[in-house]
Amino acid sequence: MQLLTPGLGLIFWTFLAFIVVFLILKKFAWKPILSALKERETNIANAISSAEKVKLEMLQLKNDNETLMQQAREERSALLKDAKFHSDKMIHEAKEKAKSEYDRIITDAQQAIQQQKNAALTDVKNQIGALVIEVSEKILKRELHNKAEQENFINTLTEEVKLN
């Protein structure tokens, strides 16, 4: 049983070695270990508070982003309405311009037709006048043999002129 129970000297020297190691550790290692633990605890606390701040900032950025998206949607909608209004206005103006141009072309065409008609009538009148002069010349060149025949011919002409 002696193997299982340690001797008194061994216990004394083990206890003395433990005390010496404890005092050396207390003097040289305990403060750096405690300060390292304290620093680690502070770093962890700072990281947690920093994470909280980042989380709050992310929520704020998300809210700002949603607000900006809503504003962008509204602005896009306003721009689309404005563009539609301007395109409708341009289409209406183009239609009005085309209609006025159509009316002007029709009026010009009617005037041109009227002018051509008047020119044709004038030409026909001139041709008729030339024919009348030619016929008159032929009649005047014709020799009438007696005075009674001349008077009859003049009376016939005067009656024809009064009828027309």
CA distance 96 to 33: 91
Name the domain count of the chain: 1
Using CA atoms, how far residue 152 sits from 9, 42, 136, 145, 146, in Å, is 190, 147, 16, 12, 10
Question: Do the domain assignments include residue 91?
Answer: yes
pLDDT tens digit at each of 164 positions of the chain: 566 777 788 889 999 999 999 999 888 888 888 899 999 999 999 999 999 999 999 999 999 999 999 999 999 999 999 999 999 999 999 999 999 999 999 999 999 999 999 999 888 888 877 777 777 766 766 655 667 777 777 777 777 765 44
| First-to-last C-alpha distance (Å) of the chain | 173
Look up the domain containing 49 and give its range.
8-163
- What is the pTM assigned to this prediction? 0.41
- Is 3 inside a domain boundary? no
In a domain, 24, yes or no: yes
Sequence-distant (≥ 6) Cβ neighbours of residue 153 within 8 angstroms: 144
The Cα 129–Cα 123 span in angstroms is: 10
What is the C-alpha to C-alpha distance for residues 30 and 8, in angstroms, rounded to an integer?
Answer: 30
Residue 15 lies in a domain: yes
Element (H, E) at 5: none
Quickly count: other Cβ atoms within 10 Å of residue 52's Cβ: 10
